Amino acid sequence: MAEMKTAAAAAGGLATALAFGGMFTIAKSAFGRVDPFHLTLARFALGSAIFVIALLVVEGRRALRTDGKFLKLWGLGSLGFAAFNLLTYAGLQSTPAPTASLIMAAMPAITVIVMWARTGQRPAGVTLGLLLPALTGVAMVLGNGNPLVVLTGGIGFGGLYILAGVIGWVIYTTGAAGFPAFSVLRYTTVTSVLGTVTIAIVTLALGALGAIPTPGAADYAASWWQILYMAVPATVIAILAFNHATRTLGPANGVLFINLVPITSFAIEAVRGHRPTTAELAGVALTLAAVIAGNLYGRRITKRAVPALAPAPAGETGKPLTTVA
């Protein structure tokens, strides 16, 4: 039974990597008809509706309550769904899809920094040492082989928008630890609904001010398959599958699947005719090698420490409280 659960979780993590890997290319293909803001709103309006229906069927109407934590859930949902997606899609307008996907591969490194700031607990020296090559690999791709370009501002705002969005996503996912009574489905549904409200406010306000174009019915109809892909495989299936993988395999193992996202994206772009440069390939290899090394080191330390740990109290698992949602 345990092996079946592990296999199912691994399959879910792989499905997430494939769905996210294609997300950037597919989203960018719709920008000619629907701008990033309205595309994001359409995606999560549909995705959140599916989440709500699933939650009502599985857990009932009471699961939609916020239990007195409305503002915190709204804030986390705004960071995870509104900030991450709006900033990512805005950045995609001037950033190649493979580059955007690689920035996601820096998520484990960014998580270390965010958790350090949140808990005040300094990570191990080896973990900190691996942060540099991981982030350098991302900077190499952004700077076309020269990581120092990032520091001089030569990459433009697109990559920085995406990086800021990823930081928002990390804060959102690590914030799930503050809701142990919420199931994966409940936390995801409530935060996605509240995050969609924020997306709607921002999008409608910018449209009213004339800062962004307002698509017509024909534009949405022409982009129907992109919206459907973004809402179902890249939102409902991918997020729930990733949450399940993280809960089952643990955060350290679950987040490794994110590192398959740039590989998937680069493969898709290669099929479409893009030939990655040596700098891009070197950056991808450096980032993935650093992240995987950090994961293996973390698991080795945890394995050594297990015999010395006292039995966990009832209801605790002994896993880090960094469940991704």
3-state secondary structure (DSSP) of residue 156: coil
CB–CB of 44/196 below 8 Å? yes
Q: What is the Cα–Cα distance from 57 to 6, expressed in whole angstroms?
A: 25
97's tokens: 């899809």
Question: Beta-strand (E) ranges in the chain?
Answer: none
100's tokens: 């955007």
Length of the chain: 325
Confidence of residue 297 (pLDDT cuts 50, 70, 90): low
pLDDT at 277: 73
Q: How many CA atoms lie within 13 A of 99 on its CB side?
A: 27
pLDDT at 115: 76
Q: What is the CA radius of gyration of the chain?
A: 20
Closest CA to 194 of 65, 83, 73: 73
Distance of CA 39 to the CA centre of its chain: 17
Closest CA to 44 of 305, 236, 176: 236
What residues does each domain of the chain span? 2-305
Angle between helices 278-305 and 107-119 (to 10 degrees): 50
Confidence of residue 325 (pLDDT cuts 50, 70, 90): very low
pLDDT at 298 over 80: no
Using one digit for the tens of pLDDT, what is the confidence trace for 174-212?
888 789 899 989 999 999 999 999 999 999 999 999 999
The residue among 268 and 223 whose pLDDT is bigger is 223
Longest dimension (CA), the chain: 64
Helix (H), strand (E) at residue 22: helix 2-30
Could you count the other beta carbons within 10 Å of the beta carbon of residue 233? 19
CB–CB of 73/264 below 8 Å? no
Q: What is the Cα–Cα distance from 307 to 321, expressed in whole angstroms?
A: 20
pLDDT at 309: 38
The 8-class DSSP code of residue 83 comes to: I
66's tokens: 């916020």
CB–CB of 80/173 below 8 Å? yes
Using one digit for the tens of pLDDT, what is the confidence trace for 13-61?
777 878 887 887 888 889 889 998 999 999 999 999 999 999 999 999 9
Using one digit for the tens of pLDDT, what is the confidence trace for 236-294?
988 888 777 776 766 556 666 776 777 777 777 777 776 777 777 777 777 777 767 76
Using one digit for the tens of pLDDT, what is the confidence trace for 154-169?
556 777 888 888 889 8
3-state secondary structure (DSSP) of residue 38: helix
DSSP count for the chain of H helices, then E strands: 16, 0
When mean pLDDT is compared across 14-18, 40-44, 92-96, 98-102, the lowest value belongs to: 98-102
